[in-house]
Every structure is written in C-alpha cells, then in structure tokens.
Structure 1
Amino acid sequence: MLDDDILRRNRRDVLTAGSALGLAALAGCVGTTDDDDGYTIGMVDSLTGSLADFGERNQNAVEIALEHVNEVGVKGEELDIIIEDSESESQPGLSAAQKLVEQDNVPFLIGAVGSGVSMAIYDSVISGTDVVQLSQSSTGVNLTDEPGLLRMSPSGQTQSIALAEIIEEDGYDEVAVTSINDDFGDSLYDAFEEAYEGEIVYDNVHDSDESSYNSLISSMDSSGADAWLFITYQSEFTTMVNDMDSGGYGDDVQLYGADSNRGDSVLEGTPEGSMDGMKLVEPGVPEDQDNYLDFAEAFEAEHGEAPTSWSAFAYDCVVTAALSIEAADEFTGAALGDVVRDVTRPEGQEVFTYEEAHEILEDGGTADDIDYQGVSGPIDFDENGDPRGTLMVLEVQDHDYVSLGLRES
C-alpha cells in the first residue's frame, strides 16, 4: 500500500466548475406563461459536455412525454418547454436557469443532470423564490439537504451502499477507489466509505477532462487491490479505460462503477473487451409494468434504441409538471409547489398514465385524489424531495451492458 500522504488529496477541495458563458435555446418551444397561449415551463439539460449522453436520452423522452400530454391537453391548452443547455457545467447551467426564471418567467424548472449543476441552480437562482425545481437525473447525496430541490432519480447513497455490498459479496475485502473531484464524486465516495466493511487501500480524486489518467491508473495498480471502483463521468472513464488498455493495467482486476460511468460513448470510445466483467449500479425501472412497456415501445419506435432509466426519469418529470399544472389553482410557482408532491403520493388512486390522472382531475378531483405511478416506478416524494427507487445491477458482457436484475435499495 502506498503512503497515504501521497495518495490522498483533500476530498473537500471540490473542483469549481467554470466555462465561458454561452446561452442558446437549443430545443423546445419558446412561449409565454399566459394561460391563453398554453403553459410554458423550463428545462436545463446537458445537451453538450461530459454528460451529453444523458441529455440526449432526456430529450428523446421529453419529446414522447410532450406528445402524450398534449394529445390530452392541460386545462384545454398545450404544454411547451423552453430547453437550455448547461454544457454539463455549473456556470453555463446557472446562466441557463437565470434566463428561464428571470427572462422567460417560468414557474416550474426541470433541471439539471449533474448534481453540482442542480445545487448551483438551486442555491443561486431558485432558493428564495416560489419556482419549483425538479431534477431529472441528479443523484448527489447532498441534494437531500435541500428539501425544496426535488429530484426524480433516487439518491446516489443507495448506489454507494449497493456497490459496497456487491464488492463484499464478490469476495473482495480490499478496494482501490477514484472519484471525480466535485459534489457528486465526493458525496458518493463518502457514502461508500461509510458502508464498505473492507479496507480502502487506495483513495484519490481526479479532475475532469484530463487528456490522460496514466499516473492515477498506475497508482491504483500499485495498491495491490484486486477490485477497483470508479465514481466518475463517461468521458473521464473512457480515457481511463484506454489508459488501462494501452498500459496493460487491470487485466486481472474486477472493475465496478457508478451510474455515471455507463454510456454509449464509453462503449464506442473503448476497445472491445476492455471492460468485460465490470459491474455497475444504476437506478432501476419496472421493466414488466405496462406503462413502462408502452413507453419503451414508443421510445424505440421513435428513436431506434431502448430507453434507459434516465429516459424514464425525464419522461416522468414532464408528466409530473403537467399534472401539477392541471391540479393547481393557478399557474404560479407557489400554486404548483403546493401540489407537486401530492400528485404522486400514495394516498390517491393509483394511475399509470397522464390520461388516467387527467380524467380524475378534469372531473373535479384534486391532487390528493391521484397517485401517479411513473414509467420509472412509484415516485412518492418524501419530505426531503427524494423519490422512492430501486436499483439495477449491470455487467459488461461482450462489450455491452447486460442487466443482472433489480436490487432493493
């Protein structure tokens, strides 16, 4: 084991994201928030940058959700979404949110993907206002500390606990860990460290967008651990896998990863077989539930590929927003905030589509009368703004992701 003073960096020294300001409404329909012209909400998504794989599937799901909602209508009108690009970074994400809230006057904001971006938006733009913020994909543990920031995907703490259990179940009592130097990486690492009963023999953070991680991979190899855990993003992990392959590292090592390691760009950017056997954990979806099957069929027919759990979360964000508008007394952030939790609560009648829920509301029902069961599964936001959730375990086989089944969180 190498000297801790050399290997460990201050995990609280979080990387401050930054990039040049640049705003563009890259998708969506720009409208007003006046009822006579329909209802317009906002969305901050990762259309470019390190989390663009998530953003692409989000947008594909949003298209389908809007089709399903607008086939029925929202109080007789259509729902529009103004979509802005966070570039997967905090500063562009903040600028995007400021435009949506301060210029477009949206009372409901879906966003963002990265946990650090979501937190930055909440702290600097949403906090102190009545605007409802609902993240489509953020799993950072620290979001639980902000009950006003809702999220559709479950906390990453559940992933960290599951990864600790799986590594132990696979017989590894030592592990080498590297995590991205931001809120997401820091919070998931802390949760893993608390849950893992073995010894973490190597622990180091890494910055984003490095051209090479050879030194990091070499140090992980020198640790002697036969299990390596990566808590990072797709582009960074792709570089790491290529460094492992070119350097001859990791041939006899079992790899593990968080949800953010997975993506088509990783498969496309790494050599065949370079990750085979790797296990990953990500939020799961009810793959045998009728509404999910219908959603998956529509998604594949429209986009030529199966949806991921992140696609389902984005779809449910749009439906939840539409149901909140339908149930609220007026189209304001305060009124939407009063009902957004209730439309998914178990006290109401279980409904599995927007159309079913809309019928109850249109007939005089209230938010308390419906319990929307999402295509991602039961939502049931708790007092911290966190949903219920299950986890899916995946394994890389023949350079593809294969489900090993759901695991209770």
Structure 2
Amino acid sequence: MTRNTTERTGRRTVLKATSGAGLLALAGCIGTPDDDNGDDDVYEIGMVDSLTGSLADFGERNQRAVELALDDVNEVGVNGRELDIIVEDSESESQGGVAAAQKLVNQDGVPFLIGAVGSGVSLSIYESVIQDTDVVQLSQNSTGLGLTDFPGLLRMSPSGRTQSVALADIIAEDGYDEVAVTYINDEFGESLYDAFAEAYDGDIVYESSHDGEQASYGSLVSEMNGSGTEAWLCITYQQEFSTMVTNMFESGYEPQLYGADSNRGDTVLANTPEGSMNGMKLVEPAAPEDQENYQAFAADFEAEFGESPTAWSAFAYDCVVTAALSIQAADEFTGTALGEVVRDVTRPEGEEAFTYEEAHAILDDGGTPDDVDYQGVSGPIDFDENGDPRGSLVVFEVQDHDYVSIEFRES
C-alpha cells in the first residue's frame, strides 16, 4: 500500500500563492459540467483553512495533507477528471472565514466547501453563507459541541464532548477533587467547558473565560493561583496558552496543567520556557496508528515534509477523499446531488475500502454510494444524523518539553 514518493512528487499539484489577502490556490480552473467557462477535465471545490492566525499550525499541516490527498485522487481520477481545490484563508477568525466562504460560494460557485478549523469559524460560515443553500460543508478540524445542533454541517473530527469527559476522568484519576478552569471566550471554549463541568464530579473552585490574543494573562493566572488548587485546566488556543504558560513560569507558579487539543503544537513549545509545562496532560482525537492505510499516509507525509502528521492532518486528507468519492457517486456536480451521497460513501453498510483507489473501484464498477464504506486514514467515519463522525482519543504528557503519547481511550 506504500506509494513511491519519487513518482508521486512528480505528479504533485503545486500549491501556489496568488495575489489577494490570504489566498492560496491549488492550480487548476473551475470544472462543473454546466460551466461553459470551465475546464471539462476538472472538478473544483473550495476550502477555508487557517493559513494565518492563532490556528495556523493546524492549517499548515492541513495543506500538506491536502496535497497528498489530491495526488492520490488525481492519480485515479474522478469520473475521468481531476479534482482541484481553491483554498482561502480564514485568518483563524469568524469574520475572515465568512468572507472567504462568501468568495468561494458566490464568486467561484463551488458546490462543496471544506472548512474550517475553528469551531466558531465553521459555525459562522454555516449560518452566514451555507445554511439555506444546497452547498455541502464539511469541517476538517472543528470539535465544538455546537456543531452537533446543525445536522447540515458535517465535520470529520469528533465532537469535543469526548475530550471534556476524558479530561474530567483523567483529573479525577490523578487524585484531584478540585480544579481551576479558564476557557477561551468563544463557542469552542464555552461548549467544552460546559461539557467538562457536567462530567466532572469534583469541585470547580475557579472558572473564568478569557479573550483571545491578549499581550498578557498575568491577572488571570494570578487569580487561578489564588484559588488554592493545584490542578489547572486551560481550554484555549496555542497563542493564548503560550502567553499563559510564560506568565505562570515568570510568576513562579507550578500547577498541574491539563488541556484540550488546541493547546498542543510546535508554536507552544517554541514560545514557552523549557520545563514550564512538564507533566501537563492533554487530550485530542487519535489517529489509528495500527491501521495500514494510516501508516502509508504517515510514511508519505514524513518522506515529503520531514515530520510526522497529526490526527488533524488525517482529518483534512479524509475531507478531500470524501469529497472526491461524493463527486464520483453523485448523479451530477451540484450541491444537491453531492449532499444526497456524502454520508452514504462512509457508512458501514457498504464494502470497506481503505484507500480512494479501492473505493473508486467499487463505484466505477457500477456500485452505488451504499456499496462503499470508506475507512479513512483518520479511522472509520460513519457520519451520524447530526453530521458527527466516530472517533477515539490519545492522551499526551509533556516530558522534557516535548509531547509524549501515554494512553489511548475509546470515545
């Protein structure tokens, strides 16, 4: 199943910067069957990603996974055509995400939109741009609980409720019957905090929301320290958490730290003092490392980019493959037709397929969407009635200023 990296590099669709704020485009042009100005050899969809801003670490790995996915899809083809993606930058903000989605839907006319990373951004896009249209939206990385309330908004990453419950369990298992909590003042932070508060059997002796992108969180961490508890849970983003940790370290505070997926990243390690987070535990969606298709994906990713992928990269890869399979399975290249099949190509009633090539072969041989059960590199997908997938979790501990996987948990 492992692909030849040298051959694949030669096939690569080039990711290139274009003029305009934050726009990246994967080379190609619009290719809908009914578009007289388009290229009949190309299907074009859209993607809103965090290319800049507080979630840019996620966006960078997403784009690398998108490159690999497009290589794999276009080596086989989609109804004899190629798939291209226009990628717009949300700047990790709701306003930027809505503007990007409006451009993709209203100007480019894409029937399928992958996006976004931040939960608040995905929800804003759906409510402001996608809702009441026939465009399909599939978020690559959003875990906020609020997405479950919008069945028309699909996501590849599991709900953050599973992380909140796991954190409540881990803090209790570590012997802490009280905790201080701070959370980012948006849908992601509020929803994960609410789920944690519901699941945690101990006492929350301090809780406070915080705004993003502050120069200092000194007052906040001082209040958390004043609560008298040793266990601190921070539900926030990488940039904000880096500042908090630095404030803690400079003040001489040494709490037992806990966090969610958005706390972890190279940005945090680079922007915090050595030893400032040792012993911290974090929970995030897990990649199926024992699955052969994930191993092949990880090997390709490491060979091309010199680093290991994350589960978030795998989610982005599977978004592209799911979109391609939906196009292959649909009667026409419209949002309505794609919406009718996007859930079906990942359901367990069909024949398990672990690569795009395997799933495409089933459809190309006369199979229906119900005959395909695409098993993603991120694991089984199986969108439920709320647009949420299945998933499992990995627990990381910070050791010697690095993240070490210490446990897997079923969600």
TM-score where L is the length of structure 2 = 0.93
**Aligned pairs for 1:256-275 within 5 A:** 256-275=258-277
Give, in whole Å, the separation in 1 of the partners of 2:320 and 2:128.
23
Give, in whole Å, the separation in 2 of the partners of 1:42 and 1:29.
12
Match of 2:138 in 1: 134
Aligned residues: 386
Secondary structure of 1:276's aligned partner: coil
Match of 1:56 in 2: 60
Match of 1:6 in 2: none
Match of 1:255 in 2: 257
Give, in whole Å, the separation in 2 of the partners of 1:224 and 1:200.
11
Give, in whole Å, the separation in 2 of the partners of 1:97 and 1:224.
45
* Cα deviation 1:175-203 (Å, max 9, x = unaligned): 00000000100000000000000000000
The alpha carbon displacement at 1:285 in A equals 1.2
The alpha carbon displacement at 1:354 in A equals 0.1
Match of 1:302 in 2: 304
Match of 2:225 in 1: 221
Match of 1:25 in 2: 23
What letter matches 1:55 in structure 2? G
Q: 1:344 and 2:346 equivalent?
A: yes
* Cα deviation 1:326-358 (Å, max 9, x = unaligned): 000100000000000000000000000000001
Does the CA-based 8 Å contact 1:40-1:106 persist in structure 2? yes
Give, in whole Å, the separation in 2 of the partners of 1:334 and 1:30.
24
**Aligned pairs for 1:1-400 within 5 A:** 23-35=21-33, 36-250=40-254, 253-400=255-402
Give, in whole Å, the separation in 2 of the partners of 1:162 and 1:195.
9
What letter matches 2:347 in structure 1? R
Give, in whole Å, the separation in 2 of the partners of 1:244 and 1:400.
18
Give, in whole Å, the separation in 2 of the partners of 1:74 and 1:350.
19
Give, in whole Å, the separation in 2 of the partners of 1:222 and 1:331.
59
What letter matches 2:102 in structure 1? Q
Match of 1:404 in 2: 406
User: Sequence identity, in percent?
Assistant: 75
The alpha carbon displacement at 1:30 in A equals 4.8
The alpha carbon displacement at 1:23 in A equals 3.9
Does the CA-based 8 Å contact 2:28-2:42 persist in structure 1? no
Does the CA-based 8 Å contact 2:22-2:51 persist in structure 1? no
Does the CA-based 8 Å contact 1:284-1:389 persist in structure 2? yes
Name structure 2 gaps, 5 residues minimum: 1-19, 34-39
Give, in whole Å, the separation in 2 of the partners of 1:343 and 1:26.
28
Name structure 1 gaps, 5 residues minimum: 1-21
What letter matches 2:25 in structure 1? A
* Cα deviation 1:13-65 (Å, max 9, x = unaligned): xxxxxxxxx74422323511324131000000000000000000000100000
Does the CA-based 8 Å contact 2:179-2:204 persist in structure 1? yes
The alpha carbon displacement at 1:91 in A equals 0.6
Give, in whole Å, the separation in 2 of the partners of 1:209 and 1:296.
33
Secondary structure of 2:133's aligned partner: coil
Give, in whole Å, the separation in 2 of the partners of 1:198 and 1:95.
43
What letter matches 1:229 in structure 2? L
* Cα deviation 1:59-109 (Å, max 9, x = unaligned): 010000000100100011100000000000011110000000000000000
Give, in whole Å, the separation in 2 of the partners of 1:139 and 1:162.
14
How big is the alpha-carbon RMSD for the aligned residues of Structure 1 and Structure 2?
0.8
Does the CA-based 8 Å contact 2:215-2:243 persist in structure 1? yes
Deviates more, 1:35-44 or 1:89-98: 35-44
Match of 1:16 in 2: none
Give, in whole Å, the separation in 1 of the partners of 2:341 and 2:103.
25
Secondary structure of 2:301's aligned partner: helix
* Cα deviation 1:229-248 (Å, max 9, x = unaligned): 00000000000011111111
Give, in whole Å, the separation in 2 of the partners of 1:178 and 1:24.
31
